[in-house]
Amino acid sequence: MRKILLLLALLNTACFAKAQTIEDIIKNVKAKLDKVSDYEAEGKMKTNVIFIKAPIAKVKVYYKKPNKLRINNESGISFIPKGSVNINLGNIFINTSGFDMIDMGKEAKTNLRIIKLLPKDENSDVVLSTLYIDETQSLIRKAKTTTKENGTYELEMTYGKYAEYGLADKVIFSFNTKDYKLPKGITFDYDDGSKKEESPDKLKNKKGKVEIVYASYKINKGVPDAVFK
């Protein structure tokens, strides 16, 4: 009898899990992210853009609800890509009622649930967001956002000790870069004969990557607004 009851309980759980709708998944993810009102994180940022040669930077990332985010390199200069506010995943859910959700099933390799968010507002800059969600942990592992103005952003998250808040230990932010060129008459470059890896044409519209590896977060300790100015 006990075995039958246990089996029924397991079947019930399995049926419940299967029945989890995309609305539930999004709700769970959002609930996790909502635990964080603000944070101050320290980490190291690597910039990988074809026309920028930059060192690894120590950065502080500040976030405050609803959508304030600032990346500061306090000991130097860092080129921060536009749209970097999207590294805060809560940004996606600022207005959930403004999206239509489409269930795209599961990704075969990773078993992540793919959900597409289409904004209802025709004037919205975001055209489409695609989320790859780990249902069991209610964590977004990957996100792609296509915008009208600034192309497509991609996010890849790796979680660790701050997973309960939906905060990643490592974020890779990919973005579109436009071509960079200054007239030689301005720069008076020295041609040292170094081989150029690619022709100038190929430098156009390349993907850039910024990788932030977080060392620590101070969550819900308050962040002054002055930081974001």
Partner 1 sequence: MWKLLQIELFKIFKRPRTYIAFGAIAAVVLLFQIGMKFDGKTYLDLILNNVSDSFEVDDTFKGKLLNGYFICFAILNILLIQMPLLVALVAGDAIAGEANMGTLRLSLTKPISRTQYMLVKFMASIIYTLLLLIWLAILALFGSMLIFGTNSLVIFRSEIIEQMNSYDVLWRYVAAFGYAAVALTTVSALAFLLSVFAENSIGPIIATMSIVIVFTILSEFNIPLYDKNVKPYLFTTHMVAWKGFFYVQTDAENRTIDGSIQNLPAILRSLGILVIYIVGFVGSAIWIFRKKDILT
Which residues contact partner 1 by CB under 8 A?
46-56, 75-77, 79-82, 84, 175-194, 196, 200, 203, 208
Q: How far is the CB of 132 from partner 1 (least distance, A)?
A: 24
Q: How far is the CB of 46 from partner 1 (least distance, A)?
A: 6
Q: How far is the CB of 155 from partner 1 (least distance, A)?
A: 17
d(CA 164, CA 32): 7
d(CA 29, CA 142): 13
Closest CB to partner 1 among residues 2, 195: 195
Closest CB to partner 1 among residues 54, 114: 54
Closest CB to partner 1 among residues 105, 193: 193
The number of C-alpha atoms within 13 Å of 42 and in the hemisphere containing its C-beta is 6
**How many other C-beta atoms are found inside a 10 Å radius of the C-beta of residue 59?**
23
**Strands of the sheet with 207-219, listed across from one edge:** 68-72, 57-64, 38-48, 207-219, 168-176, 152-159, 139-147, 126-134, 113-119, 99-106
> For the chain, what is the radius of gyration of the CA atoms?
21
Closest CB to partner 1 among residues 54, 101: 54
Q: How far is the CB of 101 from partner 1 (least distance, A)?
A: 30
Closest CB to partner 1 among residues 16, 190: 190
DSSP state letter for 161: T
Q: How far is the CB of 158 from partner 1 (least distance, A)?
A: 17
